Amino acid sequence: MLGFAANELIVIGMLLSFMGLLFLGVPVVWSLAGVSLVATIVALQLYSRFEVDTYFLDSWRDYSVIVQRIWSLMENGVLVALPMFIFMGLMLDQSGLAQKLMSEFAATLGRYRGGLAIAVILIGILLAASTGIVGASVVLLTTIAMPVMLENGYDKRLAAGVIASAGTLGILIPPSIMLIIMADQLAMSVGELFMGAMIPGLLLGACYLIYVIAAVTVKPEMAPRLKNPDPLTAARLLRTFAAVIPPMALILAVLGSIFMGIATPTEAAGIGALGATLLALGNKRLSFKVLYEVARRTTLTTSFIFGIFIGATAFALVMRSLGGDEMIAAGLHAIPFGNMGVVITVLFFAFIAGFFLDWLEITLIFLPLVGPVVVNDLGFDAVWFVVLFSVALQTSFITPPVGFSLFYLKGASPAEVTTIDIYKGIIPFVIIQLAVVTALILVPELVTWLPELVYD
């Protein structure tokens, strides 16, 4: 009994220490690895001095299993797709594709009220299905769209809300880096998870469009028409259509090859990286300098992700060795609101955790602890739960006070766009996302229909 209580205290201490170190500014990798090492020392001291049962963590030999875990991590074929998808997103950022889309969409849709905002959402959907990198999408949309919207008299709050929410779609709409990591953590099919997230992602984008149209209808002064737009001719429509073809071709090449079973996600990532490079070449934006910079940033981003993987692996090993997963499972089973109440509680904690932690730490630490309970013990569909979890995390990206997308937006916006403008502007989109979460809970078929259609 004493051993169990001691283990519980160590696990709770690990979680609190990790949070405290993050608030002190200690890098995530060192926080995770350092806390796991200190917890191991404490547990082994208890075992040796007081003969307290520390479950499976009774010697340094038990902790050395981390070497085998890291080796297995490096051998994981699914994770090979990560650097190539990152390369694809960064290369598209350099290709000039988004700028061309914004120019053509603005010329075509700007003649209508809210047309620029609609253009931003459509471009956000295309970028989401092409890159999957939230930070790059938000900064890119802010850079190319915010000045144009402000020059044409758009309400700053509407412009900020549209850009932040549209740029964050990349975390959900495939090919999403987050979904790849979630699939790896729960031993799921990446292709099946991609299919499950497709309809919710597009539904979210459609809800944004409906809100913008409704808002500018009620308050036309929020989004005036462009002054003296070019005539809407067949040539103009053709140019706009031609601008959409390259990203659509890339999306079909990547996602189509996965969904049709032609390529694995890893192979599709290679296709995407090559396709993005060819698009940059076709737009005359490819040079040795660009290639070097994209490769450098890909290496840094991949190293950052895998560093957190290693730290999270050590953290999870120690926590589970001390019975942390059993403690989490017991806590979830003790929730007095039924099985669906457990799911809602998990989503609520993921949403709150997103205020303070990046999605990567939540995915690597929190999801593997709660996922088996929800799927194996309570019997919920794995794809449905993971997509719900993803939408909850996406909501945390745009939720004040510390939504990461809001920081990206503020950093790239003109000085006249204040933090208060951003916070006020994002509120309707947070409500929309919570409404979509509710819809996915009430109608699970929005998630499960497409995977069942293809895989069953």
User: How does pLDDT run across 79-137, given as a tens digit for each residue?
Assistant: 788 888 888 888 887 888 878 888 888 888 878 888 889 999 998 888 888 766 777 77
* pLDDT score, position 389: 92
Look at 351 and 213; give whichever has higher pLDDT: 213
At 335, which amino acid appears?
Answer: I
User: How does pLDDT run across 347-394, given as a tens digit for each residue?
Assistant: 988 888 777 777 777 888 888 888 888 988 888 999 999 999 999 888
- Mean pLDDT over 251-256 rounds to 86
CA torsion through residues 323, 324, 328, 329, sign:
negative
Look at 28 and 388; give whichever has higher pLDDT: 388
Tokens of 248: 């659509």
165-199 burial, b at 16+ Cβ within 10 Å, e below that, comes to bbbbbbbbbbbbbbbbbbbbbbebbbbbbbbbbbb
Look at 444 and 49; give whichever has higher pLDDT: 444
* pLDDT score, position 1: 40
Checking if the pLDDT of 225 tops 70, the result is: yes
Look at 296 and 47; give whichever has higher pLDDT: 296
* pLDDT score, position 247: 86
Q: CA-CA distance, 127 to 103, in Å (whole number)? A: 15
SS3 call for 87: helix
- The DSSP result for 146-163, as a single string, is HHHHHHTT--HHHHHHHH
SS3 call for 450: helix
CA distances from 116 to 203, 213, 321 (A): 20, 11, 54
Tokens of 419: 């933090």
Tokens of 73: 């991590």
* pLDDT score, position 349: 86
Pick the range with the lowest mean pLDDT from 8-22, 36-50, 150-164, 412-426. 36-50
**Is residue 165 a contact partner of residue 422, using CB atoms and an 8 Å limit?**
no
* pLDDT score, position 447: 94
Q: CA-CA distance, 433 to 394, in Å (whole number)? A: 8
CA atoms within 13 A on the CB side of 356: 13
Residue corresponding to tokens 């290709």: 95
SS3 call for 335: coil
**Is residue 315 a contact partner of residue 366, using CB atoms and an 8 Å limit?**
no
CA torsion through residues 115, 120, 125, 127, sign:
positive
Mean pLDDT over all residues of the chain?
84
**Is residue 364 a contact partner of residue 33, using CB atoms and an 8 Å limit?**
no
CA torsion through residues 367, 372, 374, 379, sign:
positive
